[in-house]
A and B are shown apart, each in its own frame.
Chain A
Amino acid sequence: MNPPLLHIEDLTVHFHTDEGIVEAVDGIQLLVPAGEIVGIVGESGSGKSVTALSILRLIRKPGRIVQGAIRFAGRNLLDLTEEEMRHLRGSHISMIFQSPRTSLNPVLAAGWQIERLIRLHKQEKAKDAREQAVQMIRQVGIPAPERIYHEYPHQLSGGMCQRIMIAMALVTNPKLLIADEPTTGLDVSIAAQILDLLKEMGQRTGATILLITHDLGVVAGYCDRVAVMHAGQVVESASVKKLFRQPLHPYTIKLIHSVPRVDVDMVMETIPGNVPGLIHPPPGCRFADRCQWVMEICRKTRPPVQSLDGDHLVACYHIGNS
């Protein structure tokens, strides 16, 4: 495993609402080795996006990072001033969001949005910046980059917009790229092209990618490592091969069996029960009420993270007991 570029320790994020405190992310650990593609997979409300936004320190009120450390290239991001953080965003860590059309500025031409970034972060001369922007549009696989430079987001298809977003995210040569559901809302064939492009561009620019998705297929196809989140906690993390070959946490096992596949026939299973509410969540394992192996201790205290053969981490009392 490469040395870690990003190391999240014991991160806890709370949202203070009228109904009470929502414990959206609860003491998660996450290791992102340099140069790899790490996936975070989970259902809506599992805390994936909150984790991503925490890395950029973009959690807004009523949300608050309560405790933990986010170490990026040796520094704890939570100790930086807002000014230092602003320099980091976009140049060292950049992000791609779910709906490309709403993330782009509708009143600026697509190419200009890329050029602005180059001028801001690299202090290039206007002419050089323009050339680099066109070059970048070409690199993300858009034909006729000179023409597309002048087009506005509403004139481009969803897939094109996402390519422009990728160009914007990578033009500053960031060390870390966070992609939050980059293909949700795109058609399968376009989604596959976008993911291929992300992977290729990551390799070309040497960027490490944190890929947030709800789709296990995407994880299997593109990631090196993966963390599975459930109700604000990372329940299991491992290399992708290990996780699919030998999933250990009961939630991971159920999740894999609840996804229909096109290549083989399978019996689809469902996960019993619902995700627990995150206001006053159960004190023990948050999956306990849905788990077939539940024991008394599971409902009382939170299972500690155990490490099996090095980098396979799982938080479950049942493992090691059997």
Chain B
Amino acid sequence: MGEFIEILDLSKHFPVKDQSADFRLLTPFHSRQAILRAVDGISFFIRKGETLGLVGESGCGKSTVARCLLRLLEPTRGKIFFENTDLTGLKGESLRLLRKAIQMIFQDPMASLNPRLSVRQVLEEPLRLHERVTVKEREERVLEVLEQVGLDRELLTRFPHELSGGQRQRVNIARAIATRPKFVVLDEPTSALDVSLRAKIVLLLEELKSALSTTYLFISHDLSTVKYLSDRVAVMYLGAIVEIAEAHELFRHPLHPYTKALLSAIPIPDPEVKRDRIILEGEIPSPTQIPSGCRLRGRCPLAEAICSEEIRLREVAPDHWVACHFSGMQ
């Protein structure tokens, strides 16, 4: 306890139709339910003022974690502490107050803006809902956030379809920071953007974080950007965190076989850097059929009998946690 945000044994399961059954043999009486374990008992914490990067491939549960943190999804199990208050039980007014303190920026800048609201209306909405301010103060606050994200005042009367991709994402960022949140969840904020735009948005996010002294959870599958922005990084695989460490440490000395394989697959923009590619066999299993014990064991080059036993995150070096039976033993 005592950390800014602490997540204990968080799980989110979804009931789904069993996709593995052969649909041709099924009648309505045979339809079976399966449990999709999107997030499966994860625990981590975020320190005040830091950026925690959360990386993993699609379907590993990153976005589900984000949605649980904002109570956009109800966790199946587990606790989420935000400044020592458990969010999972909040209702009514206290939940509304929480929403002011925690904001989210989404991946698709177009889909997350209401096409029928002008930029001014988009930015006024959070202030109207969360802050008791006069009309004049609200106007000032709108102009202030607009300037913070580097947008021109002329854009206030525009609608999302009249903006470029980069401008849209800046409006999304402006909306998120309008209530001066203590914590911002960024779910793939740069994935839909081009190289040169991505660099600009990344630098803007970095600048805003220090200007607002807020805390970020930065979710992405783009490890290069995560490395650039994050203080610590957590790696997710199939609903679980397999490794969590300080960013430089993780990229320099990855310990979990999955982290190693993931890092070795990232293309490096330098033809003279030669690396050994670590290839995991096969594809990620379905989250309805998570292997027992270590989740990676069907694909891991190191797998042995012991891997069928349950494994939890262990601290193998200061602040470096790994969920592998072989870590710390090399």
Contacts and interface: CB of A to CB of B under 8 A. Distances in A.
Contact of B271 (A192, A241, A261, A270): A241
B261 interface: yes
A262 B251 contact: yes
Interface string B158-198: 00000010100000000000000000000000000011111
A229 to B, nearest CB: 12
Contact of A261 (B194, B200, B265, B269): B269
B267 A218 contact: yes
Please tell me the size bucket of the interface on B. Answer: 35 or more
Interface stretch (A28-36, A251-259, A291-299): A251-259
A44 interface: yes
Contacts of A240: 271
B199 A268 contact: yes
Contacts of B268: 217, 220-221, 261-263
B265 A220 contact: no
Interface string B217-258: 000010111011000000000000000000010010000000
Nearest to A223: B271
A270 B221 contact: no
Contacts of A189: 57, 261-262, 265, 280
A290 B181 CA distance: 35
B57 A268 contact: no
B203 A262 contact: no
B314 to A, nearest CB: 25
B265 A192 contact: yes
Contacts of A244: 269-272
B283 interface: yes
Contacts of B221: 187-188
Contacts of B277: 192, 196
B271 A262 contact: no
Contacts of A261: 224, 268-270
Contact of A260 (B58, B228, B265, B273): B228
Nearest to B57: A187
Contacts of B110: none
A221 B194 contact: no
A224 to B, nearest CB: 10
Contact of B203 (A196, A265, A268): A268
Interface string A178-203: 00000000011111110010000000
18 contacts: A157-B283, A159-B283, A188-B266, A189-B57, A191-B265, A220-B271, A220-B273, A221-B267, A221-B268, A244-B270, A258-B198, A261-B270, A262-B227, A262-B266, A263-B275, A265-B248, A268-B202, A270-B203
Interface of B: 57-58, 164, 166, 194-200, 202-203, 221, 223-225, 227-228, 248, 251, 261-263, 265-273, 275, 277, 279-280, 282-283
Given A189-B261, A190-B57, 20 more contacts: A43-B196, A160-B283, A188-B221, A188-B262, A189-B280, A193-B279, A216-B195, A217-B267, A219-B269, A244-B269, A255-B195, A260-B202, A260-B227, A261-B268, A262-B268, A263-B270, A265-B248, A268-B199, A268-B202, A274-B164
